[in-house]
Structure formats: C-alpha cells, structure tokens
C-alpha cells in the first residue's frame, strides 16, 4: 500500500479512465493516508470503510476475531458450571455417606465439602478467568494493530492516552456494529467485569513490536 497521496490520486484517475473505456466499475482503491497517524474519528471511520472495500479478507478476519472471543467466553462459562456441578455432586455424596453413619458419629464427623471450599474454588476460577481475559486483550490488540485498525496502530504522541483509549473503545463498538455482534456474557461473569481494557491495551502496544 503506497503512502504517496499524489501517486494514489494518479492511480485512481487511471483506474477511472480505464473503467469508462471498458464499461466496468473500477476496482476498489486502497485507503488514503497512514492509519498510524490518524487522530480524527471521522477519518478513522472512512479508513476502515475503504480498507474493508479494498481487502475482501478484512471482514473475515474481524469476524473470526469476534467469533474466537465468543467461543472462549462460552468455554469459560462451561468451566464455571462444571465447578458448581462437581461441588454439588460431592456434597450430595458426602451427605449420603454421613447419613449411613451412626448418630454418634454423624455429630462429630467433619465436613469436607463446605461452602468455604466452594467459595475458594470459585475465587481461584475468577482469578484465572481475569488472567485469561487479559491475555485475550493482548492478543486482540496485536491483531488489530497488525491489521492497521486506526487507534490500535497509532504512533506514540499522535493522541493523548485518554483520547486514545476513548477512540479505541469507540472503534471496537464500530467493528462490532460492522462485522458482528458482541458476545453475550451470562451468569455471574458480567460484561463490565470483562470489558475490553483499552488502557492496558495501550500500555502493552507501547512496549511490544507488532
């Protein structure tokens, strides 16, 4: 993709002339400008539209990213349900075992499957969940930067951190609107708890080469 605006205009004009002569619509042109230098939302929106029209694989890549995120969320939810089912099964088995004991033994027999044990397992689950979510954020950041998504491949100094974070969130919403729907997060894992952390995304990209 050329970064020479004058050359891009010449190529567009030549394509338009050729289209008039052949009667065929001109092929989509590469988007104008350098996505790493975009600081304006309107320019970013236009760039994404032009890039999606120019590169037929672009939409597929974004949809695949969304689908992969959705699949991981569903897998994490299944793990949560499995922990709960396992706890309930073990508690039921323990109750059945204790019920067979003599009354004198039942009163003194310690319980192993307790509420505290369950809460500890769930706390470990949520700790692991948030670690995995942060890893997913970093993967998504690298992918979006590699695919020249404005505000994810931005050069240092083009935007302040707060503006960059706000634009990143807005761009994520825009990509979901264009290419897919946001995965539904169910049960005790709330969307706001797993929201894409663009602040950490910015910090990670500042220290990583994409």
Does the structure show a pLDDT above 70 at 199? Answer: no
Does the structure show a pLDDT above 70 at 174? Answer: yes
Burial class (CB in 10 A: 0-12, 13-18, 19+), 34: middle
Does the structure show a pLDDT above 90 at 156? Answer: yes
CA distance 113 to 94: 7
Does the structure show a pLDDT above 50 at 208? Answer: no
What average pLDDT does range 160-189 have in this prediction?
77
Dihedral in degrees, nearest 10, Cα atoms 49, 50, 55, 60: 0
pLDDT tens-digit readout, 108-143: 888 888 999 999 999 999 999 999 999 998 999 999
Does the structure show a pLDDT above 70 at 148? Answer: yes
How many Cα atoms occupy the beta-carbon half-sphere of 138 within 13 Å?
11
Q: 147 or 183, which is more confident?
A: 147
Read off the pTM.
0.67
Q: Where are the domains of the chain?
A: 37-207
Does the structure show a pLDDT above 70 at 186? Answer: no
How many Cα atoms occupy the beta-carbon half-sphere of 24 within 13 Å?
6
pLDDT tens-digit readout, 31-60: 888 999 999 999 999 999 999 999 989 989
pLDDT computed for residue 79 by the predictor: 93
């Amino acid at each position: 993709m050329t970064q020479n605006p004058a050359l891009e205009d010449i190529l567009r004009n030549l394509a338009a002339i050729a289209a008039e002569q052949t009667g065929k619509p001109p092929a989509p042109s590469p988007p104008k400008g350098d996505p790493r230098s975009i600081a304006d939302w309107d320019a970013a929106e236009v760039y994404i539209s032009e890039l999606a029209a120019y590169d037929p694989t672009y939409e597929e890549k974004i949809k695949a990213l969304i689908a992969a995120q959705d699949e991981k969320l569903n897998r994490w939810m299944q793990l949560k349900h499995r922990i709960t089912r396992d706890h309930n099964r073990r508690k039921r088995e323990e109750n059945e075992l204790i019920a067979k004991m003599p009354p004198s033994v039942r009163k003194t027999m310690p319980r192993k499957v307790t509420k505290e044990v369950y809460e500890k397992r769930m706390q470990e689950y949520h700790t692991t969940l948030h670690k995995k979510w942060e890893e997913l954020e970093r993967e998504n950041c690298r992918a979006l930067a590699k695919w020249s998504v404005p505000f994810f491949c931005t050069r240092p100094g083009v935007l302040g951190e707060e503006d960059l974070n706000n634009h990143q969130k807005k761009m994520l919403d825009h990509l979901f609107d264009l290419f897919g729907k946001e995965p539904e997060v169910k049960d005790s894992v709330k969307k706001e708890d797993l929201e894409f952390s663009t602040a950490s995304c910015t910090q990670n990209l500042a220290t990583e080469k994409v």
